[in-house]
Homo-oligomer: A and B are copies of this chain.
Amino acid sequence: MDQGSKSINISADEGVILQKIFRHGPINRADLAKEAGFSRSKVSGLVTDLLFRDILSETNRPGSCHGKWKDLDINQHLGYLVGIDIGTTSVDVSLADCSCSLMEHQFEASNVNDGPEIVLGQATNLLEEILQSQNVKKADILGIGVGIPGPVRFPSGEVIGGQFTPGWEGHKIQEILSKDFPGAVIMTENDANLMAVGSFNEGLAQNTDNFIFVKIGTGIGAGVFCGGQLYRGATSCAGHIGHTCVDLAGPVCRCGNKGCLEAKAGGLAIAEIAEAAAAEGKSKLLMRLKNENRGRLTAVQVGEAAARQDQIAQSIIIGSAALIGSVLAGVVNLHNPELIVLGGGVSKLGDLFLAEIRREVLKRTYSYTTIGLRIGISPINDTVGVIGATHFIRDWIFLMEGKPLSLAL
């Protein structure tokens, strides 16, 4: 591994121990043995070594009482973890300790079209502010996980395509960032994939092995979990459900095809349909909102108008949700998930949006596939990306992500 100097050699058995600690938090040796399926003496040997190497530490968990042995946790003084979530119109940066406890989260508006140097520069500035305010030294950063709103080759971090991240194609995020953070392990992933990781670790999808995280923002993309692991597909492109064609005669999409789900039902599409409706005088409320907003509307404004019973806004929301639901029906029939988590800005459109997606999914799927299927909105929507980025880089450093389902080298 040449992505930084902080790489830590962990054996397969040690990886199992760490994975259980990451999942269950501070834990005693007996429970650890049970969870890992190892003998008590094997756990004892592994733990002694991990303590000696300062990877684990012993803690006094309030209320825990297991004789002479204290609970075990990751050594929080090992270093810090950074999550960077680059969106189409914003950049989020967070700092966490080795337990992935968020210490500080900052964000600002950005434009992905400005290219990697400018946008990663914004992220670096935000990070340096956070480091200063938290009194953390650059050299103490163990790793940085980065999400970008487009496909990225794993594990090299090379941006693929570039339709969604113009100017980024072929750039390797980790190489750019490593100039400023030479001591840190840096890895890049697609943003929806990281949101799925965040949701699996701290969101709705905890203890859910088979689920889909759907990010509905400017674009529409998904992160796919199979058997408790992020599934990346053959060429790191799994989850591109926003580019399933729903109308061959539809508008041209950012990806170059026609009538993609995202071009018909994403945040931009909702805003454009509402702007057109306002221009045609169909809705007084949308007209007023548009005038107040220098002739533009956002999907969130359309959602607010719908919540205020504007019928045109409601029909736009329902139209978008119905299309998203029709594509998710195909997703459900193939993947048979336990859960679909909706995140991203447009997921805040409210109950009408969620209800229509649910209805459409149930109408278009095999009944036994949806027994027990839950569809919900991410409760940690604003931070799920950076939380995912933090867990992603921690798992990479300590577990090499366990055994990745698909490693496109």
Q: Are B333 and A241 in contact (CB under 8 A)?
A: yes
Q: Which residues of B contact A222 (CB under 8 A)?
A: 334
Q: Are A336 and B241 in contact (CB under 8 A)?
A: no
Q: What are 22 A-B pairs at a CB distance below 8 A?
A: A160-B368, A209-B406, A226-B226, A226-B405, A226-B406, A234-B338, A235-B372, A237-B336, A237-B366, A238-B335, A239-B333, A240-B365, A240-B369, A241-B330, A243-B333, A244-B329, A244-B365, A245-B329, A248-B363, A255-B367, A330-B330, A331-B334
9 additional A-B residue pairs with CB within 8 Å, beyond A226-B406, A234-B373, A243-B333: A224-B335, A226-B226, A233-B335, A234-B338, A234-B372, A237-B366, A241-B330, A244-B329, A257-B363
**Contacting residues of chain A (354-409) with chain B, CB-CB under 8 angstroms:** 363-369, 371-373, 404-406
Q: Are B257 and A364 in contact (CB under 8 A)?
A: yes
Contacts A227-B231, A231-B226, A406-B226 given; does A333 touch B240 at CB 8 Å: yes
Cα A236 to Cα B366 with chains together (Å): 12
Residue picked from A232, A238, A241, A337, most chain B C-beta under 10 Å? A238
CB of A193 to closest CB in B, whole Å:
12
Contact residues of A: prevailing secondary structure: loop
Q: Does A161 contact B (CB under 8 A)?
A: yes
**Contacting residues of chain A (193-249) with chain B, CB-CB under 8 angstroms:** 209-210, 222, 224, 226-227, 229, 231-241, 243-245, 248
Partner among B227, B248, B329 whose Cβ is within 8 Å of the Cβ of A226:
B227
Q: Does A327 contact B (CB under 8 A)?
A: yes
CB of A383 to closest CB in B, whole Å:
26
Q: Does A62 contact B (CB under 8 A)?
A: no
Q: Could you give, for residues 321-335 of chain A, a 1 whenever the CB lies within 8 Å of some chain B CB and a 0 otherwise? A: 000001101110111
Cα A366 to Cα B235 with chains together (Å): 12
Q: Are B210 and A240 in contact (CB under 8 A)?
A: no
Cα A337 to Cα B151 with chains together (Å): 15
Q: Does A256 contact B (CB under 8 A)?
A: yes
Q: Are A235 and B405 in contact (CB under 8 A)?
A: no
Partner among B235, B241, B326, B368 whose Cβ is within 8 Å of the Cβ of A237:
B368
